[in-house]
Structure 1
């Protein structure tokens, strides 16, 4: 028995465009972000998705709502799908925080290192994994669109792909989608692939 997840990042936001770290703060979708959400809705019109579960942050909620104008599915929120907490780095330009001596360990890899007063990549990945298991157990054998955030997806997928601690991990594109299946018997995830733009 398996539950299939489409894991999607929200559309482009103002702070994405300005190269600022959002974390658990928020900024509005840009015109490009609104268009990305509409285009993603069209790409998701064919798979037999049963429901949408979104992060409660407004940028993810807005993207999910735009997609649901096309899909018309049950839509709910799950608090654990919220983005990684970047602590003191939230709202800062990436160019500024990238000079921090531990920036690579914190932001480009999944480690036990955290931004000042923030969340580690390992803790973020575990939080997301536990949320997906909880969702899978509530809706077994369904196909679920999860609308969430770039860094939490990067951290989770790196651990599923068993990336080493030294691997520099790519950023997750706005409205990018990966698919993963949760095997209820094995209590494990496998990567199914990506949905191309």
Structure 2
């Protein structure tokens, strides 16, 4: 019997607060709380494997989840679920980027299918996340899994698993565990 798959976007960061594109650039957390109420509804006897992006904001969020929930959660990291490389856009405020690179944005959001200047292409990004999704399929036969990653990485993972378009997957809120399967 297949187990459950949950996703968790890292807790809110300084870059989230200041509306700065982070990509693979790490930044400090501003919030240190995870809403894991969906896990609380499950049996306390359940165990979980947490697979996290190796960026500090995700690793720290995973530790917060482990501490706050008191659930049996073993953890590891996987570099394939690191956030998309946003090239020279990283570390810059979105409002400045809208002016400097207007063709890359629509309604205040980066056009996902575009390749950021000196960044990772959509196809490279999708390939990396697809590779990860194949790995967890086997693990789900025996384990409940929680993926702690980044907005774009979680949206791409969701699109792949649910066979939907990346653009149709909404933004993930920070610090909230959600059931995917």
TM-score (norm 2): 0.81
Change (3 A) 1:130 1:49: farther
Three-state SS of the structure 2 residue aligned to 1:2 is coil
Q: Deviations over 1:143-174 (max 9, x none)?
A: 1001000111223334535238xx57642211
The correspondence of residues 45-64 of structure 1 with structure 2, limited to 5 A, is 45-47=40-42, 48-64=46-62
2:2 paired residue number: 2
Change (3 A) 1:5 1:123: farther
Q: Could you tell me how far 1:123 is from its partner in structure 2?
A: 2.8
| Structure 1 CA distance for aligned equivalents of residues 65 and 176 of structure 2 | 13
Q: Could you tell me how far 1:139 is from its partner in structure 2?
A: 5.1
The size of the alignment, in residue pairs, is: 172
Match status 1:25 vs 2:43 = no
Three-state SS of the structure 2 residue aligned to 1:76 is strand
- Which one has more relative contact order, counting CA pairs under 8 Å at least 6 apart? 2
RMSD of equivalent CA atoms: 2.4
TM-score (norm 1): 0.75
Gaps of 5+ in 1: 182-197
Deviates more, 1:10-19 or 1:139-148: 139-148
The correspondence of residues 154-193 of structure 1 with structure 2, limited to 5 A, is 154-159=155-160, 160-163=162-165, 167=167, 170-181=170-181
2:135 paired residue number: 134
